[in-house]
Structure 1
Amino acid sequence: MKPWLFALSAVILCVLLLTAYTVKTTQNKCYFDDVDYASVLQWNGVLYGGDTDSDLSGLSKGKAIGKITYSKTEHRCPRKKMQDGDATNLKTGTQLYEVNGYEPSARIWAGDQLYEAYSNPAARTLNDLLDAVGKIQTVRFISGNDGSELMDFTPEANAIFIREFPKLEYIPQEELSKQTKSWVGNLYWMEIEMKDGSTRRIAYNTMFPSFHSAYATPELAELIEQQRKLIYAR
Structure 2
Amino acid sequence: MKLKRSSIFMIFAAVLLLAGGAWVYLKDRAGHYECSFGESEYASVLQWDGIVYEQNWDSPLTGLHKGKLVGEITYTTADHKCPRTVMQDGDATLLDVGTQLYEVTGYKASARLWAGDRLYDAHSNPAAKTLNDLLDIAGKIENVRFISGMDGTTHLMDFTPEAAGIFIREFPKLKYLPFQELYKQTKGWVGDNYWLEIEMKDGSTMNILYNTLSPSFNPPAYATPELAALVEQQRKLIYTK
Same fold (TM over 0.5): yes
Q: Which moved more, 1:210-219 or 1:18-27?
A: 18-27
2:12 is aligned to: 12
Deviations 1:81-137 (A, max 9, x none): 001111111111111000000001100011111110011000000000110011101
Offset of 1:15 from its aligned partner? 1.7
1:167 is aligned to: 173
2:221 is aligned to: 214
Q: Structure 1 counterpart of 2:187, which letter? A: K
Q: Please report the TM-score for the alignment, with normalisation by the length of structure 2.
A: 0.91
**8 Å CA contact 1:71, 1:91 repeated in 2:** yes
SS in 2 for 1:128: helix
**8 Å CA contact 1:141, 1:152 repeated in 2:** yes
Structure 2 unaligned segments of length 5 or more: list them. none
2:79 is aligned to: 74
Q: 2:59 aligns with which of 54, 59, 64?
A: 54
Task: Determine the C-alpha separation between the residues in 1 that align with 2:79 and 2:87.
Answer: 14
Structure 1 unaligned segments of length 5 or more: list them. none
Across the two proteins, how many residue pairs are aligned to each other?
232
Pairwise mapping of residues 95-106 of structure 1 onto structure 2 (< 5 A)? Answer: 95-106=100-111
Pairwise mapping of residues 1-234 of structure 1 onto structure 2 (< 5 A)? Answer: 6-18=6-18, 24-26=25-27, 27-30=32-35, 34-147=39-152, 148-212=154-218, 213-234=220-241
Q: Structure 2 counterpart of 1:140, which letter? A: R
Task: Determine the C-alpha separation between the residues in 1 that align with 2:105 and 2:193.
Answer: 33
SS in 1 for 2:214: coil
The structure-2 alpha-carbon separation of the partners of 1:21 and 1:199, relative to structure 1 and needing over 3 Å to count, comes to farther
Task: Determine the C-alpha separation between the residues in 2 that align with 1:25 and 1:87.
Answer: 25
Offset of 1:4 from its aligned partner? 9.3
Percent identity among equivalent residues?
62
Offset of 1:9 from its aligned partner? 2.0
Q: Please report the TM-score for the alignment, with normalisation by the length of structure 1.
A: 0.93
Q: Structure 2 counterpart of 1:226, which letter? A: Q
Q: Structure 2 counterpart of 1:8, which letter? A: I
Offset of 1:18 from its aligned partner? 1.8
Offset of 1:22 from its aligned partner? 6.4
Deviations 1:17-43 (A, max 9, x none): 226896654313446654111001000
